[in-house]
A and B are shown apart, each in its own frame.
Chain A
Amino acid sequence: MDIRPIQAMIRFGLGRRGCETLPADPMAWLRGQLRDPDPALALPISSSLAGLEAHRLDRELKPVEGQPHRTELLWKADAPIAMRNLAETGHPFRERMVWFWANHFTVSLRRGEVRPLVLPYVQEAIRPHVTGRFTNMLGAVMRHPAMLWYLDNHDSMGPDSPAGIRNHRGLNENLARECLELHTVGAAAGYTQADVTAFARLLTGWSVDMGTASPGFAFMPERHEPGAKTLMGQTFPEGQAGGEAALTWLGNHPATFRRVAEKLVRHFCADQPTAADVKRINDVLRQTRGDLKAATLAVLDLPSAWQPLTKLRSPGDFVIASMRALDLPEAERPDMLGLMNHFGQPFMNAPLPNGWPDTATDWLDGEMLLRRADWAMGVAAKHPTIDPMALADDSLGALLGERSRSAIMRAASRRDAVALALAGPEFQRR
């Protein structure tokens, strides 16, 4: 039996939805999703403009005591749209890539002020570039108000810039450092503190203008550190163009491609990627100058990407896959945000700018796995008519092992059986 159709849905997609048709040609199904424009670009999620305007209004007209902030209302309206899309999308491979990149370029709700901006950020800075060039995504991310606020660049001023001199203010190197360490070349590239500082100087003036009719990204020349800067041996000119050139250079750096290649292979093949697999994807990135579509498609051609169930489902993955497997009407769908939180991976809420980890070891907390089982029992109790064998067979197909299959079939009640189907070993993997 060909396991590739179900494997395509589990490994590369977000889990099979109910008994939706298995792709007859899994490769064509996956490639098609990267060829089509992303239908989720049309989701009615707020714009970052709306988020920034809400911020301004909240500040100017404080909400009446006990009333929610406008920014909070935006998040409350947007988050369910994102959840529904994850549970229902017919382009789950593309959607997985969106969240892969959103995690690579993490912004987190732990910085409260980015709350109304995180989902616009995904729509505006990540989603359009999933099949584009890495440098384009990097540029969009670094200009987005969510990232500029999250990593404090909006306030960074060149010490010798007019605004810096006037206000006795200086650099905030947070974004520059994380961009080097996390988003692009990585610490192993051997840059120094002087490079971090130089990059921070290059990015001075990259800020969020809240004073105009349409608040948003603005390059503020009076905050920009004058003069050319040298970053990792490369000299970049003064002005916004200098920062942009630096980002292009970093985004095409061999160390960046190597890290991106390793991250992609880790996400799709194995917690410990083989050097050969990483080299293959790295080669594609170098040959195409960072074409993410080409690199992602190349992952599909790696034999190791089709080794079944080598990856543990993160809590978020488990919640999404469960919703898709149960395929309940939206009114009865459990609270996905609450569940992601309960299982240890609150949505868009990574503790640090390096985002959520991507290996089994990071998610192998037994108590958290038991929570998945406890919840599965609750769902099974609430929906007593679910057919457990159909649930297991539809969601896992031939990937359901004999041991698990017989345990589900022999379970002492339908409720136990439904819970075991969702809490069993195969469903924890992808």
Chain B
Amino acid sequence: MHHPRSVLSRRATLLGLAAVATVRGISLALADAPGDQRFVVVILRGALDGLAAVVPYGDAALMGLRGGLVPKQPGTPEGMLDLGGFYGLHPAMPGLHGIYRAGGLLPVHAVSNGTGVRSHFVAQDHLELGSVKEEGITSGWLNRLAGLLARPGAATAKAGSESALAVGPSMPLLLRGPVPVGSWMPAGGGKIDPSFYAELAAMHGADPATGPAIQVALQERGFSAEALAGMAPMPNAGAFPALCAAAGRMLAAPAGPSLAALEVGGWDTHAHQAGRLPPVLKTLDDGLVALKDGLGEAWPRTVVLVVTEFGRTVRINGTQGTDHGTASVAFVLGGNVAGGRVGGRWPGLTGRNLFENRDLQPTNDLRGVAKGLLAQHFSLGDTALASVFPDSGTIPTMKGLLRA
């Protein structure tokens, strides 16, 4: 297998030298590369309800559409955490609010993959391939980025020194491809998301034999009946933050990986969302704070992009949850992020503005956000960006996501 190699040496970047690297014939100009950049992608599998995480409480149509899912107003006990007067962060995410106030968090609202697909698998494929084409592209976009940034000799380097790292039990499509990528999971880690067991129990619910047996066994493992019914938080919330903390420490190491991917599930809140979503948001909040703490002094040269495959319906469904929708919210975090504001054009929630009269209208493409981050963070030009996101030529690169 042929692995593209970069002639750009890590030492050159460390020395802050302007350099021109040639990868697969693509010129990659690095002007005064500031050094050991780190880039982390966190995939929220299952479709985060963006309207619940970053609530547009200033939109007059909101309460009429989903009053039952809107937390209390900012400034009240257990109320939303205000994000500048129009948006409020869900109260389960105080850690992110702290980062926001320090200027390091930039939520980007009304983002989507660029298709109206509502299948988790297809949409996650699009998200991770960085393409909405059904065929032709088989590597994840983070793997293609790793190819661009590859250290000399990385292709033959021994295991453990790869420039990109999957943190968790599986290698996401996002990182799969021709460039060798490492993976790491703590001993005894790789805990399975509790929402999987809830679905498994529900699936077996009608089986008079396996149904009760599985219910009892899950309770013995510490899942209450209420939790399995989605009425109470699931245990096991500490696994993701621990993974994040470890990932942060590995990334902060001088010879650590440049790129990393993590994922966390539990977002597919078809029922009882008001009870089921807050603990998952808190897990994410704890995880991202742990990641920042683990990164330590590397935080200013790190960008974290938190993405999901699509959003959820604006209206509440028949089981106090939300169904598969279109646009959601993405989070950009890091010490050099031009945060403390909410990015993305807000489409509005009044009737005509809803996508297919049910979903938040997408006004920003996730690839535009990612391209904007890569352009600034790794000083990638248009040609390099086009090699990471091949069919994104018409999608504008979002500007000003990082501080100049």
Interface residues of A (CB under 8 A from B): 312, 360, 364-367, 369-370, 373-374, 377-378, 380-382, 384, 388, 403-404, 407, 409-417, 419-420, 423-425, 428
Q: Inside 8 A of A378's CB, which chain B residues have their CB?
A: 169, 190
Q: In whole Å, how far is B10's beta carbon from the nearest beta carbon of chain A?
A: 30
Q: Inside 8 A of B197's CB, which chain A residues have their CB?
A: 370, 373
**Chain B, Cβ-Cβ closest to A366:** B217
Verify B210–A425 contact, CB threshold 8 A.
yes
- A sample of 29 inter-chain contacts (CB < 8 A) reads A364-B209, A366-B213, A366-B215, A366-B217, A366-B220, A367-B220, A370-B218, A373-B197, A377-B192, A378-B190, A381-B169, A407-B199, A407-B203, A411-B199, A411-B268, A412-B45, A412-B46, A412-B47, A412-B120, A412-B195, A412-B267, A412-B268, A413-B124, A414-B121, A416-B196, A417-B120, A417-B121, A420-B199, A420-B200
Q: Inside 8 A of B350's CB, which chain A residues have their CB?
A: none
Q: Inside 8 A of A374's CB, which chain B residues have their CB?
A: 192
Q: In whole Å, how far is B288's beta carbon from the nearest beta carbon of chain A?
A: 20
Verify A365–B213 contact, CB threshold 8 A.
yes
Verify B124–A414 contact, CB threshold 8 A.
yes
**Chain A, Cβ-Cβ closest to B119:** A409
Q: Inside 8 A of A360's CB, which chain B residues have their CB?
A: 209
Known contacts A377-B192, A377-B196, A414-B121, A382 near B213 by CB under 8 Å: no
List 10 extra interface pairs beyond A366-B216, A367-B220, CB under 8 A: A366-B213, A370-B197, A378-B190, A411-B199, A411-B268, A413-B124, A414-B121, A416-B265, A424-B203, A425-B206
Interface residue B398 (Cβ < 8 Å from any Cβ of A): no
Stretch from B151-159, B170-178, B233-241, B249-257 contacting the other chain: B170-178
A377 to B192 alpha-carbon distance, docked (Å): 8
A384 to B43 alpha-carbon distance, docked (Å): 15
Verify B120–A413 contact, CB threshold 8 A.
yes
**Chain A, Cβ-Cβ closest to B172:** A384
Q: In whole Å, how far is A344's beta carbon from the nearest beta carbon of chain B?
A: 13
A385 to B169 alpha-carbon distance, docked (Å): 15
**Chain B, Cβ-Cβ closest to A367:** B217
Interface residue B341 (Cβ < 8 Å from any Cβ of A): no
Q: Inside 8 A of B170's CB, which chain A residues have their CB?
A: 380-382, 384, 415
Verify A384–B173 contact, CB threshold 8 A.
yes
A185 to B63 alpha-carbon distance, docked (Å): 75
A312 to B176 alpha-carbon distance, docked (Å): 38
Shortest Cβ-Cβ A-B pairs, 10 listed: A366-B217, A412-B46, A381-B170, A366-B213, A412-B268, A413-B45, A425-B207, A367-B217, A364-B213, A414-B121
A388 to B46 alpha-carbon distance, docked (Å): 15
Q: Inside 8 A of B212's CB, which chain A residues have their CB?
A: 366
A384 to B120 alpha-carbon distance, docked (Å): 14
- Greatest chain B CB density within 10 A among A312, A407, A411, A417 is at A411
Known contacts A382-B170, A412-B265, A414-B121, A369 near B217 by CB under 8 Å: yes
Q: Inside 8 A of A366's CB, which chain B residues have their CB?
A: 212-218, 220
Verify B196–A419 contact, CB threshold 8 A.
yes
Interface residue B352 (Cβ < 8 Å from any Cβ of A): no
A366 to B213 alpha-carbon distance, docked (Å): 4
A362 to B171 alpha-carbon distance, docked (Å): 37
Interface residue B403 (Cβ < 8 Å from any Cβ of A): no
Interface residue B232 (Cβ < 8 Å from any Cβ of A): no
A381 to B209 alpha-carbon distance, docked (Å): 28
Residue interface bits B39-60, CB-to-A below 8 A is 1, else 0: 0000001110000000000000
Contact of A364 among B121, B200, B210 (CB under 8 A): B210
Q: Inside 8 A of B46's CB, which chain A residues have their CB?
A: 412-413
Q: Inside 8 A of B265's CB, which chain A residues have their CB?
A: 412-413, 416
A413 to B221 alpha-carbon distance, docked (Å): 23
